[in-house]
Amino acid sequence: MSDTSVQDTGQDSLRDTPRSAETPPQDHQPRTQEPPTTTGTPRRPLRRLGDLLYSGTSRTAGILILVTLAAVAIFLVAQSIPALTVDPAELKGAPTSFWVYVAPLAFGTVWAAALALLFALPVAIGIALFISHYAPRKLAQGLGYVIDLLAAVPSVVFGLWGIKVLAPGVQPVYAWLTENMGWFPLFSGQASGTGRTILTVAIVLAVMILPIITALCREVFLQTPRLHEEAALALGATRWEMVRVAVLPFGRAGIVSASMLGLGRALGETMAVAMVLSPATVISFALLTSSNPTTIAANIALNFPEAFGVNVNALIATGLVLFVITLLVNSVARIIVNRRKAFSGANS
Amino acid sequence: MTTATLSRPRANPLTAGRLPRWAPWALLVTSMAVSAILFALVMLSEKSDELNLFGILLVGAVLYAVLIFTFAWLAEGHRRAVDRLMTTLITSAFILALFPLVSLLWTVIAGGLARMDSEFFSYSMRNVTGEGGGAVHAILGTLQITGLATLISVPVGLFTAIYLVEYGRGWLARAITFFIDVMTGIPSIVAGLFAFALFAMFFGPGVRMGFGGAVALSVLMIPVVVRSSEEMLKLVPNELREASFALGVPKWLTISKVVIPTAIAGITTGVMISISRVIGETAPLLIIAGFTTSMNYNMFNGPVMTLPVFVYNSYANPGTDVGAYLDRAWAGALTLILIVMLLNLGARIIARVFSPKLSR
């Protein structure tokens, strides 16, 4: 469509003279003048100044977004390069190389986000099903708003809550778990005295990504064809069997994409992790001890205000690693969704 | 004949072999009571004076799930037992999610009310080390930075949405759609790093300015604005556009006088939701806008304090009087939540009241 406005550049001399100057009457002029012009050659679309401005501005806005994204990539890469080329001894903690510096952070990022998703996904699917198929119809929308309230809470507030309420609350449970279930590798080690462990962080992150996963799953579940549901019920299925054979298979692609988006959100979450976790530079699966792998984002937030020299570049480089990780997760989500779309019957 | 059938109470074959309607409720009350008694006993034996409400409900719910499953299995068979179990689990998933919400709102309100006084909204933190002081510099900074970010994001986002819906065909539109998806996934801290890297190139290392914060927030805000506006513009029926074209109205006038007015309620809602999304962002502002204790009206020079950073900083760097700083942190958190909720509420009201009634 935009091509048509570009094609007829030869007509410029015809157009430019009177019409672009006048505003409202010009809409009528072309109509009255046209019959004679259409006799010989096929009619060309008119080009008005307003149209040109509009299509030009809107296309510029779109291109600006592409430029911004390119700028994000270019500036991050440009500022990261010094960190990769410099003598690693100058970096904080004097690691043997930049990759040794970033590895525990990347591990912590993925580990915390994966745990958060593990906790959030079943609960989110439950809530979405409750709102879409179980709650009384009149209450359902109000209940949806209640869950959306969680999305309205800023992440610093979650951090404050996690450290002041959740961490002290779960600490006795952690102590009990390490004493009685210490044989289980995840619960091994000495329980943290403050409760500020990676498990607490994962719970906070799970609460934070709950509303987004719930909202998306709810949308998908509500789109289940009524006929599928009624067919299942007519065959004598109980409500759960109806959900299992009609709703969940229909919503599978939606669930996958929702959880991937939630994972992406958890990967990039900064403040809650920075505030709640007591960080260390380790790669460890232990959930309850006081030496926890920290995440890339939290590490940046904690160290950036005081960083100087090449350490700033190193932090930006870790940010780039985070960007790549989230990009991979989001792309995988999109590929899964696009592939599933063909089979899910969503089009029928 | 009719009297005979009426006089027999359990003749209804449709309800035979099912638990009576009151049974689940009775089981629920029983299991909660048992759980409460259990916890009360533990509390007495350990001489602690705090009753663990969450624990009571958790144990009670587990007990109820076991009981209802067993009873339903015995009376109704396997399939209905599973159905009842899943109903229990799904309902408790919802109730489980309410716990953090209620707990969070309760702590924020309880902690924040102590300092929700006039001083908090009229003083900055300049030369304040102990009690007193306020967050007016942070509130002002938040409004300035978010306002500037909105000023950048809304035109860019809206025009991109117009391009995608009204003009965009071919590879450029596909590329923009794809990269907006990518942009949605940018972690907020990476947006902050980008703004820092950008401004550090021009102003040297260690740059802190409010405008950078606005740029970082715009990076986060633009994709949300584009997505929501695009959805809203797509909802405008094609018949309206065709009717307008048929009357000889040019395309740009059709868009600005027909399409956008029809979708304006939805677009406003989307913009407000996107503002509420970025107004609570801390990480990018911590990096590029920095923190200060004074008012700073100049967006292009020196650090600007914002409300989320104020909350974080009050918690992370308390002075000698930790209690006063924590009180201010909670009050700041409460203010922030109130702003975000007002924005959300306003968006919902606008969406409900002003949206055109499409007959669909």
Q: Which domains does chain B have, with CATH numbers?
A: 17-114 (no CATH), 136-354 (1.10.3720.10)
Give the pLDDT confidence score for residue A7 in this predicted structure: 42
E strand or H helix at A279: strand A279-280
User: Do the chains contact at B282 and A154, CB–CB below 8 Å?
Assistant: yes
* B17–A contact, CB cutoff 8 A: no
The length of chain B in residues reads 360
Least confident of A317-321, B167-171, B188-192, B244-248: B167-171
User: Do the chains contact at A27 and B250, CB–CB below 8 Å?
Assistant: yes
User: Do the chains contact at A271 and B282, CB–CB below 8 Å?
Assistant: yes
Q: What's the alpha-carbon Rg for chain A, to the nearest Å?
A: 28
Write out A215-273 in H/E/C secondary structure. HHHHHHHHCCCHHHHHHHHHCCCCHHHHHHHHHHHHHHHHHHHHHHHHHHHHHHCCHHH
Residue from B76, B189, B306 to probe the interface with A (highest A Cβ count within 10 Å):
B189
Give the pLDDT confidence score for residue A129 in this predicted structure: 94
Residues of chain A neighbouring B166 (CB-CB closer than 8 A): 58
What whole-number percentage of chain B has pLDDT above 90? 40
Contact B355, B261 (CB under 8 A): no
Number of C-beta neighbours around residue A180 at 10 A: 10
Give the pLDDT confidence score for residue B147 in this predicted structure: 94
Contact A80, A317 (CB under 8 A): yes
Which of B97, B176, B219 has the CB atom closest to A72's CB atom?
B219
> Which residues, listed in sequence order, are joined to residue A293 by a DSSP beta bridge?
A280
ipTM above 0.90, yes or no: no
Whether residue B13 has pLDDT greater than 80: no
Q: Which of residues 80-119 of A touch B (CB under 8 A)?
A: none
Give the pLDDT confidence score for residue A290 in this predicted structure: 78
| Mean model confidence pLDDT for chain B | 86
Q: Which domains does chain A have, with CATH numbers?
A: 2-47 (no CATH), 86-343 (1.10.3720.10)
Per-residue pLDDT of chain A (348 residues; tens, 9 = 90+): 444 444 444 444 444 444 444 444 444 444 444 444 445 566 666 678 888 888 899 999 999 999 999 999 998 898 888 888 877 777 777 777 888 888 889 999 999 999 999 999 999 999 999 999 998 888 888 888 888 888 888 889 999 999 989 988 888 888 888 888 888 888 877 778 888 889 999 999 999 999 989 988 998 898 889 999 999 999 999 999 999 999 999 888 889 888 888 898 899 888 889 888 888 777 888 888 877 888 899 999 888 888 888 888 889 999 999 999 998 888 887 777 776 555 444 443
Q: Which of B183, B296, B172, B281 is nearest to A157 (CA)?
A: B281
* A241–B contact, CB cutoff 8 A: yes
The stretch B57-61 carries a mean pLDDT of 89
Q: What is the C-alpha separation between B35 and B39, in angstroms, rounded?
A: 6
* B337–A contact, CB cutoff 8 A: yes
Whether residue B271 has pLDDT greater than 50: yes
Give the pLDDT confidence score for residue B296 in this predicted structure: 84
Give the pLDDT confidence score for residue B89 in this predicted structure: 93
* A288–B contact, CB cutoff 8 A: no
Residues of chain A neighbouring B93 (CB-CB closer than 8 A): 122-123, 125-127, 130
B210-262: pLDDT as tens digits? 999 999 999 999 999 999 999 899 989 999 999 999 999 999 999 999 999 88
SS3 content of chain B, % helix, strand, coil (to 5): 75, 0, 25
Give the pLDDT confidence score for residue A282 in this predicted structure: 77
B39-53: pLDDT as tens digits? 888 878 876 666 677
Find the residue in B nearest to A309 (Cα): B205
Give the pLDDT confidence score for residue B56 in this predicted structure: 86
